[in-house]
Amino acid sequence: MDIAKNERKPRGRPRGWADKSDENTIKSLDRALEIFEYLSGLSGGETLSALASDLGQAPATVYRVLLTLEKRRLVEFSPDDQRWHIGSHAFVIGARFLRRTSLVERARPIMRRLMEATGETANLGIVQSSAVLFVSQVETHASIRAFFPPGTLSPLHASGIGKALLAEMPAERLDRVIATNGLAAFTAKTLTTHKALAEDLDRVRARGHAIDDEERTDGMRCVAAAIFDVHGEAVAGISVSGPITRMSLETTTRHAAAVMAAAGELTDAIGGARPVRAPA
């Protein structure tokens, strides 16, 4: 027997995996997951009859699903108020997802699409002490471009990502950061007073993105937006940077939509929660 000819290549999906029609799905499992997902979004739990009514499913069907999920500790039943709740094992599974989630790994394809959409270098940064630490970059193909290799540090008040993150900080932490580190000038456009920075951060919150208008380096602009974790806290920022010859203020405004979309996509990819903004 020719062993080589009979060896099968390991597969993660069967042949025809691209077919995602109803015929290739398990309808009973889909219904169960619908119940599970709906229940997970209810902080106070729900009764069987209310769940069945809300989801338009028969109470008997919903009950069988709940019993099955209860055996896996994915849901729990409270006899006191006759309500079903999300179970402890759901947290365990979610924690496993978070352990395998890498911000940088998940950001790479999003950053590459952002670079291709804008034609400018895409950057990813996090807060490191009182500065922005750039952890990843996808460079544009243009000959003149911004360059922030991983490991580069930039002051929070003088970078797009930095200001996007400052805008999401509680007031007391923001004041502490400014008091501790000051507002050093790097160019004639650097915001060096508490009042000027506070006014700019108000604009950042209102529009959802920050602009570094030659505040760190003469001749360079940057537009950035924050990325949020599962608690709705800003943990990173994504941006595009380029020379003012290509990034006019009008062009920067257009790029902002792509940057904010990328930030939202990455927030979703790491299981984050986008903040709910009060109407302006």
Query: Distances from the Cα of 180 to the Cαs of 131, 135, 174, 175, 184, in angstroms?
Result: 12, 24, 10, 8, 12
pTM: 0.68
Coil, helix or strand at residue 190: coil
Q: What is the pLDDT of residues 217-274, one digit of tens each?
A: 999 999 999 999 988 999 999 999 999 999 998 999 999 999 999 999 999 999 898 8
- pLDDT at 279 (0 to 100): 52
- pLDDT at 271 (0 to 100): 87
Does the domain formed by 22-96 have CATH 1.10.10.10?
yes
Residues linked to residue 221 through DSSP beta bridges, in sequence order: 213, 242
Query: Distances from the Cα of 40 to the Cαs of 56, 88, 91, 247, in angstroms?
Result: 17, 11, 10, 44
Assign 275 a pLDDT band (cuts: 50, 70, 90): confident
Query: Is-contact 119 254, C-beta < 8 A?
Result: no
Q: Which residue did the predictor score with more confidence, 158 or 26? A: 158
Q: What is the pLDDT of residues 9-60, one digit of tens each?
A: 566 555 554 555 555 568 889 989 999 989 988 878 999 999 999 999 999 9
Most confident of 35-49, 123-137, 200-214: 200-214
Query: Is-contact 252 239, C-beta < 8 A?
Result: no
Backbone angles phi, psi at 151, to 5 degrees: 105, -15
237, with CB counted inside 10 A (0-12, 13-18, 19+), is buried
- pLDDT at 130 (0 to 100): 77
Domain boundary assignment for the chain? 22-96, 101-269
Q: What is the mean pLDDT of residues 178-206?
A: 94
Of 1.10.3260.10, 3.30.450.40, 1.10.580.10, 1.20.120.1630, the CATH number of 101-269 is 3.30.450.40
Q: What is the pLDDT of residues 68-126, one digit of tens each?
A: 999 999 999 999 899 999 998 888 887 676 565 688 889 999 999 999 999 999 999 99
Q: With 90 as the cut, is the pLDDT of residue 179 above it?
A: no
- pLDDT at 128 (0 to 100): 81
